[in-house]
Every structure is written in C-alpha cells, then in structure tokens.
Amino acid sequence: MKKTLLLISVVLLALVFASCVRVAPGNSAGADVELVWKQIQDAPYVEGRLIVGYNDIEALSEIVSLLDAEITIDIPRLNAAGLRFDSTVEEARAAIRELFVERPELVASIRYIEPNYERELIKPVKDDNLKLPELPVVLAEDAFPDLEGFLWGVKKVRAPQAWAAGYDGTGIIVAVIDTGIDSNHPDLQGQITHRYDPLLDLEIDPDIDYSFGAHGSHVAGTIAAKDDGHGVVGVAPGAKIMDIPIFQPDYIGDEFVAAGIVYAIENGATVLSNSWGGKGFSTLLYDAIAYASENRVVFVNSAGNEHVNEVKSPAMYPGVVVVAASTAGDGITHFSNRSVKLSVAAPGDFSILSTVPLWDVAEFAYPDLPYAYYGGTSMACPHVSGAIAILQQKYRDMGLTVYQYRKLIELGADDIMAPGKDNDSGYGRLNVEKSLSLDPDAFGTGGNAFFWIQTKRTYYDEELEGDYPMGIPGVYVSMIPHDRNLPPIYIKSIGDLELAGAAAFDIDVGMYDVYFGSGDLFDPSSLLYFSGRVQEQEGMKWESYEVTHNPINYVWADVVEFSSSPKLVIEKISVFQEGTEIVDPEITLLQFIVTAINAFTGEEFSSTISYDGGTFALPDYAPAPQYTLTSEPFPGLEDFLADKTVVFTGYVEYDNDPGRRIYFERELPAGTGFISDGWSFYFSAF
C-alpha cells in the first residue's frame, strides 16, 4: 500500500492526495462500534444555538442572515463560530437545508454544522462525616496551620521525591478549565498568572476572586498550592495556574470552551486540566484538542463518577489523558468510571483535602479554615495534571509529543488492580517519581493516522482544469486496535466537498481495524445529510491498518474511496383518478422519462421507464456527488395524465447489493415531479 508523507497543520491541510485504497464492504462494524456512535450522538443539546465551521466567512454570513442570528464568538484559529438565534435547532436545520438545496455552491464553504451539546461538571463526591468540629492540630498564630500531613494523595504519587530531585513544576503553566478560582486564598495567592473569561472574551485580573463555585479552587490547590509551610501544598507547587472558567455556574457552551482552549495554548499553558464532560461528538472540541496536540499541550480529563463504562466527550478524543480515582489502599473507588480509554488512576476517594473559596463557608471542613475534603475523578485529575507539569519541567527543551508525556505517566504508574493494563485503573496508580526515571526516547514519538475520505467518481474543476474526487465530510471513523489494551479511536471526517479528512494524532502504534460509516446526518454540509446513506455505509471496513511512529509534525495520508454505483429500480407504476386505480390495457402503454440532474453541475442523464417498471442507472462517466430524480410523461401523454395521479413504487440500490436498498413510494400529480423527494431530496453518486 503506497502512502504519501504530509506536513500537517491541524486546521489548514495541504491539498495533497495519496494513492487510492478502495475500502470494500466488510463484516458488520460490530455492536460495540455502532453502540458507541449511537450513544455519542443521542445527546442533549441547547436550543437556539449552533456551531458552524467555515472556510469562507461570506458563507457564514449567509447562514447568520438566514437565521437572523448573532455570532456569539468567532474563533479564526479554528475557522469556527458560535451562533445564537430565536428558533429551535430543528427549524434552523430545515432552513439551512433549504438554503443549501437552492444554493449548493455554499456547501463547499462550510466545514461542519453541529449543535451546542450540553456538558456537565464532574461534581465531587462528598462525605459530611469528614467535616470536623475542630482541627486536631495546633493553629499557627496569624496563619493557617500546616496541613501537608493530611495530603495522603500528594505523598502517594511520590511528589515529595520529585521535589527532592529538583522538579516541582517551575516554569510550567497549567490551565484549569473549570468553575473559576479564588485567587485571594492564601495558598493560591501569586499562583494565578492568567485569567481569561471566554464568555466575555476578556482577560480578567488574575489576583481577584473569580470563582463561580468551589470546584475550580479545589482543583487548583491540588495542582499548585504554594509550599510555604501553611495550608496545603500542590503536586507541582512551583507551577503556575491559568484560570479559564467555563461553568459560570452553568456550562457556557462548546464554542466558548474551544475559545478558552485556544487562548490557553497561545498564552503559554502546556497542560490543560479538565473535570467535565458529556455526550455528543463536537467537531469544534475535537479541533481544539487536536490544536493542543499539535502544540505539544497535554489535555487531561477526569473519567467521571457514574461507575459506568461509556465513551464521552472530551475523553473520547485522540491523545487525551483520562484519569480514574484510586483509594488510599490502592484500590479503585466504587464511583469511578471504567473504560479502556483510561490512562492511569490517581488519588480521588472522599478524603482529598484542598483549597476552596474564602466565601464558601458551607464547604469548610474545619471552622474558619477554607479547605474541604472532596472525592471523585475530579480530584484525581489534578494530581495527574501536576505530575505532567513536573515532567514538562524536566523535558521542556526536548520537544516531547503529547504521546510521550502520556506514556511517561502510563508506564511509570504502579500496577494496582489486575496485572497489566485494565479497565479499572488503566496502567495503574500515578507515580511521578518513577515517571521521571523513564527515558521518553524509548517510547518513540507516537503514531498519527489521517484518512482522506472521498468519492470514487470525479468532478471537473474548471480552475484546476482537471477531474478530481469530492470530499465527504461527516463520516465517522472508528479505529479498533487489535491489542485490546490500547484505547480505541473515534474521529469524524471534517472539511468540505473539495477535501475532507479524519485525523488522529498522538495515538498508540499498532494494528487497527478501521470502520467507516454511520455518517453524521445532522451536518447539512455533509453529503450524507442529503443522501440518507447511513444504511448504505454500514460495515465499511479496513482490516489490519498499521499505525507506526511518525516523524514529528508529519503523518502518513491514506485515501478511502466511497463508491455507490447507484441505480433506480421502478418496480410498479399505478395510475389513479379521483382516488380509484385505473385498470385498463391502454394504461400499460404509458411511458415516463426519468431524469437525474446533478445538483452541482446541472448535467442531466435520462432514461425511459415503461408502465411495467424498469431500471435507471447513472453511466460511469456521470460526475459526483448528488442528483435529484425527476419524472415526466413521454411527450404526447400530458393531456391524458393531467387529471390523474401516478404512484411510483421501487427502491434505490447501491453497488448492486440487495442488502443496501432504500425503498420508496412516491405520488406525483400527472406523473410529473421529483421522485427522490419521497425519501431524500438527493440520491448519491459516489
């Protein structure tokens, strides 16, 4: 299999094509793949809001005008914007679809359109029995007592041994993407260097209280509370914190979170600590996290506290370090989510002591002391974020990839559950001292995978003076590793009709079975949206696809061609007058002209169908990608059919496969109109 080496920028991809590989229909994609995508897309979203990825700002303006919408935020780095409008999402979808039908040239200028999914903070698990009436230590005069003795988690991950070796996170900035932080807390004073409010698109004074809840302050304390002999101390006390509040107190939306991620990356953060999630594959968040990977920024995410094994966003995206919660006895908490996506576990039972806002007295574990005992994967996650800051201090000049930092964390962990990697603790419980002793060059740089998703048929590009395949945005790609200890990869093709691809960065090397299909019918920029081809795509499979270590900044690109070879089969034609079917030998002499009209070029291809039915297939030279199907009576029959209704019954079949048919029954006054409008406005010619 021939490949082409590409220099990759996550957002702007060069127009280069590798050798073509036809992905033939294989076995069923398997219940696990289909179930994952069903769970992901069966997700609640916010009404009156959409996210639009664009290539042309003028096309975005057309949609804004159509919906009478306002742009909530524009993110030029990711070529995406958030929209707010008064109608429902379904009404907006219908309006956009109609616009694209009338002006198909706009489709090429839109990368994706998606809802704004609901997300939730992974809330801490609390035990009120840990709220004590008095502190069992002697209070220091005019200062908070030294509480380091209560920080079993910091000791468990062997952070003090890392400090003794000279590594405490100095020079590293960790972005806490959470509920905001109280910078007035004595343990956090001077530790917050940047603060950005994505909802306002403003930088905020980092020295004030900007907390919308206690969660973010607790996380910040575990990462980088000062080591000054008072209060608590973080895993990486030499690191600094960037505050990105995305729960104010409710979730502000994917578009604002993506803007916050971009801000963090471009203002010096090299670790992103996240304790939130939800269903719904967000192309925008996927783009933002891919941008982080491109810039060697590590995205850390809590696994969740529901004791379920379910893939959620953002933990599902390639390269994310997913963290479970462990106990003081090196078990796994009962609430911690299980998953093959887990990298490691870290301390997160009920007794993780850390900072809370000075105003949130109800959370104080001890009277007059702004500290609380929390549990949860939200408390485990910052232990890992702090540990990565320590590793980055040591290796900051080596330009390690996200994959290498993930492997340092994973392979340095202490195995605590089933031998080897498991779905409870990943590779084990975090041990930063051991991670510091490993050689990152021994792991390689990590693998990347990139698939051009395109049509087998071509179209003629007048500007380039040649025939080119069309891209197919919105195709789901699932990479299932042969080694079931490795995490599966879930991505989606992004782009436009000229070029669409699905990319996975910083992934594990090895052999994968790659499933293509279950296309995103929500996305009006996708050919799949118009054609309804989910049924036709199920089970497309590339067996034993190998991912190897790639040179940094490069990725091998492989082309996946979708072929449809569509044909229209009219099984029966019935003629009715005033609701009664006409049965007359002369009716059998009727003929109809079926015409396929290319939605983009206007080219027409026609065939005559008799009353007994027949088959119409596009010639091989007919260009991609979509056609409307119309019917009209054979010349001379118009007057006879003027007061009658003609019912066409049949199906569209793809690739001559009886298992891939879409059936329809369509009533047309006088036998004239769109046949295809009965099941989908378009049928696909790939």
Catalytic residue among 168, 178, 496, 523: 178
Angle (deg, nearest 10), helices 89-102 and 57-67: 130
Q: What is the distance between the alpha carbons of residues 317 and 492, in angstroms, rounded to a whole number? A: 10
21 is a domain residue = yes
* C-beta of residue 314 within 8 angstroms of C-beta of residue 277: yes
Residue 85: CATH number of its domain: 3.30.70.80
Q: What is the distance between the alpha carbons of residues 441 and 458, in angstroms, rounded to a whole number? A: 44
Q: Do 73 and 18 belong together in one domain?
A: no
Q: Do 604 and 638 belong together in one domain?
A: yes
Q: What is the distance between the alpha carbons of residues 390 and 380, in angstroms, rounded to a whole number? A: 16
pLDDT, position 253: 97
Which residues lie closer than 8 Å to 261 by C-beta, 6 or more apart? Answer: 175, 177, 244, 272, 285, 288, 289, 291, 292
Q: Is 178 a catalytic residue?
A: yes
32 is a domain residue = no
End-to-end CA gap in the chain: 22
Q: Do 91 and 165 belong together in one domain?
A: no
- Taking CA atoms, 210 is separated from 177, 183, 246, 272, in Å, by 13, 7, 12, 19
Range of the domain at 106: 46-117
pLDDT, position 1: 28
For the question of whether the overall pTM of this predicted structure is more than 0.75, the answer is yes
Give me the residue label for tokens 């127009």.
15
39 is a domain residue = no
Catalytic residue among 378, 385, 525, 676: 378
What's the rounded mean pLDDT across residues 461-468? 70
Q: Do 343 and 433 belong together in one domain?
A: yes
- End position of a domain, from candidates 440, 468, 483: 440
What's the rounded mean pLDDT across residues 62-81? 96
What would you report as the CA-atom Rg of the chain, rounded to the nearest whole angstrom? 29
User: For the range 599-608, what are the long-range contacts, defined as Cβ-Cβ under 8 Å and sequence gap of 24 or more?
Assistant: 599/101, 599/104, 599/530, 599/625, 599/626, 599/627, 599/628, 599/682, 600/104, 600/105, 600/459, 600/497, 600/625, 600/626, 601/459, 601/460, 608/634
Q: Do 571 and 558 belong together in one domain?
A: no
Bridge pairing between strands 20-22 and 554-562: parallel
Extended beta strands in 599-633, E state: 604-610, 614-617, 626-633
Catalytic residue among 215, 293, 525, 680: 215
- How many other CB atoms are there within 10 angstroms of residue 331's CB atom? 16
Q: What is the distance between the alpha carbons of residues 167 and 160, in angstroms, rounded to a whole number? A: 9
* C-beta of residue 390 within 8 angstroms of C-beta of residue 168: yes
299 is a domain residue = yes
Residues of the chain above pLDDT 70, percent: 84
- End position of a domain, from candidates 540, 563, 586: 563
36 is a domain residue = no
| Angle at the Cα of 88 from the Cα atoms of 86 and 90, rounded to 5 degrees | 145
| 519 burial level (CB within 10 Å; 0-12, 13-18, 19+) | buried
Q: Do 205 and 345 belong together in one domain?
A: yes
Q: What is the distance between the alpha carbons of residues 385 and 368, in angstroms, rounded to a whole number? A: 29
Q: Do 577 and 557 belong together in one domain?
A: no
Q: What is the distance between the alpha carbons of residues 43 and 119, in angstroms, rounded to a whole number? A: 10
> 651-671 pLDDT, tens per residue?
888 777 787 777 888 899 999
Q: What is the distance between the alpha carbons of residues 517 and 533, in angstroms, rounded to a whole number? A: 9
Q: Do 21 and 51 belong together in one domain?
A: no
136 is a domain residue = no
User: Across all residues in the chain, what is the average pLDDT?
Assistant: 85
- Taking CA atoms, 586 is separated from 156, 583, 637, 643, 671, in Å, by 89, 9, 12, 17, 16
Considering only 29-43, 372-386, 430-444, 602-616, which range has the smallest mean pLDDT? Answer: 29-43
Q: Do 204 and 250 belong together in one domain?
A: yes
> 5-34 pLDDT, tens per residue?
343 343 333 222 222 333 333 333 344 555
Residue 543: CATH number of its domain: 2.60.40.10
3-class secondary structure, 266 = helix
Confidence of residue 629 (pLDDT cuts 50, 70, 90): confident
Q: Alpha helices of 129-279 — where are they, by DSSP H?
A: 152-156, 159-164, 215-224, 254-266
Q: Is 478 a catalytic residue?
A: no
Q: Do 250 and 376 belong together in one domain?
A: yes
Q: What is the distance between the alpha carbons of residues 127 and 335, in angstroms, rounded to a whole number? A: 13
pLDDT surpassing 80 at residue 615: yes
For residue 123, give the amino acid letter: K
Q: Is 506 a catalytic residue?
A: no
pLDDT, position 363: 93
- End position of a domain, from candidates 563, 580, 599: 563
Q: Do 287 and 362 belong together in one domain?
A: yes
Residues of the chain above pLDDT 90, percent: 57
pLDDT, position 535: 39
pLDDT, position 475: 80
Q: What is the distance between the alpha carbons of residues 416 and 74, in angstroms, rounded to a whole number? A: 45
The count of structural domains within the chain is 4
- Taking CA atoms, 112 is separated from 107, 267, 280, 538, 556, in Å, by 9, 27, 14, 21, 24
pLDDT surpassing 80 at residue 601: no
